[in-house]
């Protein structure tokens, strides 16, 4: 396979992943406006265990199956990939059914661990059971996505991802609007429909995959028939799935890292945050949904672009071109830091304004949500660095280190969360999360250094530039606050004007400085080189 085809396929998935993630982030704004804290609270309490169970049920399949099928296709052994696909359909149906039963039947036990008030318990159980239905469909769809990707056919996965997310988000918002505005229903009913949307979206995505399967099956069959005389490895099923699991487990770890941290916060919040029920619900909603989604905006574009370097890293590493690998690692770090640091720090400064503008302008909500967002926004840098370092380890075939780093980070998070909640209140979970992620990143960086002899001084000069430009940007925003009367909004209109002014002027200052010193040109040339397959 040509490098240009590899890069083109990676970019197709990058764009689809970005669009899908962005839709999954932005829907919370109108959804929160329709259902309030109650709707967001119930939705996230159901969705977090669902996301974890889904990742385990699918076993990281799209990437793992893709890697397996691609490997044996390159050896001319199309039969091994075909056998994996046929047996995988049955296996994924069973894991999907198992995941559904665990979540559906275990919903009362899961809800009980949260410590939510008794009056909320039945609602949390209900929405958890509703969302579990989607697990029946997604594993088989994930297998099909991975199979196509193994043939370097990225279009089916990209279209399926986007269609799934569009249908899901549309169902959530239309359902919430009809329940609340048309039929005068409750936020609980709207949350139940919102969680059921995961199943509706999954069915839509699965339909797309079936369409591609029917239309492309004759071509895949011809490809296999043309290679029937070539060597077949006749791998046993236990060996086949052992190899698949070794590929898949690190992907699962990266996929569920964020949900694990959120689950820890949800389980501990009612036990260690000694606020009123209303205040605790508000804090949890901001920590695990509203503000958390805003924090992911700086991460999404940066990591989507940086992770697209993985195929090129794999290619260079397989050839033993370590200098080329190190150059691509530098490009990935530069890109993610260039985009994430100013966005995260800017969002932190605008925390009260952004929360008041997008969610709730009432003084109590702005006070809580704005404070959490100011502390939480810099966590975007750690989120991004963990994902990028994990992707680099995948590219250099050291992905198992990710399991070690994730386990260490989660243990630290569990140990520190109660202490931080006691000492720092609502921002305590953010502090514990940051420390956990810093440990993960540190372990990953050491592993990258040992595997490639990478010198982090390569990005030292760029870091100085980025920090300097970000400081000037912050001074600009602070000057706008000075002229406008402070960083807390007096109204939604006031929040909109100050936010737009700060974002536009801050971004302009940052980009002008980056262009003036040549850093912007360096970043863009790295992207152009990647898209050209260099």
Look over the chain and give the mean of its residue pLDDT values, rounded to a whole number.
86
Angle at 487 (CA atoms; ends 498, 491), nearest 5 degrees: 60
pLDDT band at 108 (very low <50, low <70, confident <90, very high): very high
Residue 224 reports pLDDT greater than 50: yes
Three-state SS at 65: helix
Q: Is 453 exposed, middle or buried (0-12, 13-18, 19+ CB in 10 A)?
A: exposed
pLDDT above 90 (res 380): yes
What's the distance, Cα to Cα, between the start and end of the chain in Å? Answer: 14
> For the residues 49-55, what does the mean pLDDT come to?
84
DSSP character at residue 269:
H
CA-wise closest residue to 57 among 301, 252, 279, 321:
252
pLDDT band at 75 (very low <50, low <70, confident <90, very high): low
Q: Distances in Å between the alpha carbon of 163 and those of 56, 166, 282, 301?
A: 23, 5, 32, 19
The 3-state DSSP class for residue 397 equals: coil
**This prediction's pTM:** 0.87
* 315-341 pLDDT tens trace: 778 778 888 888 888 888 998 999 999
Angle between helices 3-26 and 155-177 (to 10 degrees): 10
Instruction: Report the range of poorest mean pLDDT among 93-107, 172-186, 223-237.
Output: 223-237
The answer on pLDDT for 344 being more than 90 is: yes
**Cβ contact 384:396 at 8 Å:** no
CA proximity to 439, closest of 406, 415, 463: 406
Cα–Cα dist 200/205, whole Å: 9
Average the pLDDT over each of 302-306, 399-403, 440-444 and give the range with the smallest value: 302-306
pLDDT at residue number 150:
76
More confident residue, 154 or 113: 113
Across residues 152-177, what is the average pLDDT?
A: 90
**Nearest alpha carbon to residue 465 among 414, 523, 411, 413:** 523
Q: Which residue carries 């000492």 as its tokens?
A: 423
C-beta contacts of 493-499 below 8 A and 24+ residues apart: 495/353, 495/354, 495/356, 495/357, 495/361, 496/357, 498/350, 498/353, 499/350, 499/353, 499/354, 499/357
Tokens of 315: 């290619």
- Give the C-alpha separation, 507 to 514, whole Å: 10
* pLDDT of res. 65: 73
Task: With beta carbons less than 8 A apart as the criterion, state whether 367 and 360 touch.
Answer: no
Buried b (16+ CB within 10 A) or exposed e, 391-413: bbbbbbebbebbeebbeebbebb
Q: What is the pLDDT of residue 422?
A: 93
Which residue in 284, 266, 255 sits closest to 52, CA to CA?
255
Nearest to 347 by CA among 367, 376, 326: 376
- pLDDT score, position 525: 74
**pLDDT at position 259 over 80:** yes
Specify the pLDDT at position 350: 96
Which of 235, 241, 35, 18 lies closest to 123 in space, CA to CA?
35
Strand, coil or helix: what is 116? coil
3-state secondary structure of 126: helix
Side-chain-side CA neighbours of residue 475 (13 Å): 8
Q: How far apart are CA 434 and CA 376, in angstroms?
A: 9
User: How far from 88 is each of 81, 139, 151, 232, 240, CA to CA, in Å?
Assistant: 10, 10, 17, 19, 11
pLDDT (0 to 100) of residue 227:
58
For 405, phi then psi, to 5°, come to -65, -40
CA separation for the pair 43, 52 (Å, rounded): 15
Confidence of residue 534 (pLDDT cuts 50, 70, 90): very low
Split at pLDDT 50, 70, 90, the class of 314 is confident
Question: Is pLDDT of 16 > 90?
Answer: no
Note the residue count of the chain.
534
Per-residue pLDDT for 419 more than 70?
yes
For the segment 483-503, the average pLDDT, to the nearest whole number, is 93
Average pLDDT over residues 404-412: 94
At residue 2 the predicted structure's pLDDT band, cuts being 50, 70 and 90, is very low
Helix 351-358, helix 492-517: angle, nearest 10: 130
- The answer to whether residues 243 and 68 touch, using CB atoms and an 8 Å cutoff, is yes
pLDDT digits 0-9 by tens, 264-299: 999 999 999 888 888 999 999 999 999 988 998 888
**Burial of 244 by CB count in 10 Å (0-12 exposed, 13-18 middle, 19+ buried)?**
buried
* Location of structure tokens 């689809």: 16
What kind and span of H or E run contains 249? helix 237-272
Closest by CA to 421, choosing from 303, 245, 265, is: 265
* Geometric angle at alpha carbon 360, from 356 and 363, rounded to 5°: 75
Per-residue model confidence (pLDDT) at position 238: 77
Which has the minimum average pLDDT: 36-45, 72-81, 106-115, 139-148? 72-81
Cα separation, 424 vs 58, in Å, equals: 37
Query: What is d(CA 477, CA 307) in angstroms, rounded to the nearest whole number?
Result: 31
CA distances from 465 to 100, 468, 512 (A): 50, 5, 12
């Amino acid at each position: 396979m040509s490098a240009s085809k590899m890069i083109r396929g990676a970019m197709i998935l990058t764009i689809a992943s970005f669009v899908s993630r962005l839709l999954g982030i932005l829907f919370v704004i109108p959804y929160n406006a329709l259902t309030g804290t109650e709707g967001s609270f119930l939705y996230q309490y159901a969705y977090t265990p669902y996301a974890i169970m889904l990742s385990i049920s699918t076993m990281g399949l799209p990437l793992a199956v893709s890697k397996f099928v691609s490997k044996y296709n390159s050896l001319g052994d199309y039969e091994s990939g075909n056998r994996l696909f046929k047996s995988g359909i049955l296996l994924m149906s069973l894991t999907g059914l198992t995941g559904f039963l665990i979540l559906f039947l275990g919903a009362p036990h899961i809800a009980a661990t949260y410590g939510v008030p008794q009056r909320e318990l039945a609602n949390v159980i209900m929405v958890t059971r509703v969302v579990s239905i989607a697990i029946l469909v997604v594993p088989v769809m994930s297998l099909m996505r991975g199979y196509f990707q193994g043939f370097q056919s990225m279009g089916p996965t990209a279209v399926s991802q986007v269609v799934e997310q569009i249908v899901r988000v549309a169902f959530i918002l239309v359902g919430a609007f009809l329940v609340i505005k048309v039929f005068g229903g409750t936020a609980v009913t709207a949350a139940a429909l919102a969680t059921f949307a995961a199943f509706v979206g999954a069915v839509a995505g699965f339909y797309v995959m079936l369409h591609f399967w029917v239309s492309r099956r004759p071509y895949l069959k011809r490809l296999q028939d043309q290679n029937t005389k070539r060597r077949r490895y006749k791998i046993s099923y236990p060996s086949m799935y052992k190899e698949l699991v070794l590929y898949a487990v690190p992907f699962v770890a990266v996929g569920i890292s964020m949900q694990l941290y959120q689950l820890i916060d949800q389980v501990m919040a009612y036990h260690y945050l000694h606020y009123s029920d209303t205040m605790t619900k508000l804090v949890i909603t901001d920590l695990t949904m509203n503000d958390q989604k805003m924090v992911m905006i700086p991460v999404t574009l940066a990591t989507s672009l940086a992770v697209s370097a993985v195929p090129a890293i794999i290619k260079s590493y397989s050839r033993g071109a370590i200098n080329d690998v190190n150059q691509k690692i530098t490009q990935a770090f530069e890109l993610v830091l260039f985009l994430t640091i100013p966005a995260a720090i800017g969002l932190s400064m605008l925390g009260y304004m952004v929360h008041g503008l997008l969610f709730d302008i009432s003084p109590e909500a702005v006070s809580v949500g704005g404070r959490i967002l100011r502390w939480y926004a810099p966590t975007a840098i750690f989120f991004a660095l963990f994902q990028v370092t994990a992707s680099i380890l995948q590219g250099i075939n050291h992905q198992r280190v990710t399991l070690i780093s994730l386990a260490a980070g989660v243990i630290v998070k569990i140990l520190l969360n109660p202490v931080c909640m006691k000492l720092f209140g609502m921002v305590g979970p953010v502090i514990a999360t940051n420390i956990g992620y810093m440990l993960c990143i540190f372990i990953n960086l050491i592993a990258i250094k040992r595997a490639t002899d990478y010198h982090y001084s390569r990005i030292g000069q760029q870091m100085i530039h980025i920090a300097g430009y970000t400081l000037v940007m912050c001074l600009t925003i602070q000057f706008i606050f000075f002229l406008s009367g402070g960083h807390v909004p007096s109204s939604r209109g006031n929040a909109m004007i100050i936010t737009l002014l700060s974002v536009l002027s801050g971004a302009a200052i940052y980009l002008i400085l980056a262009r003036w010193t040549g850093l912007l040109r360096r970043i863009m040339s790295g992207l152009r080189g990647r898209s050209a397959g260099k």
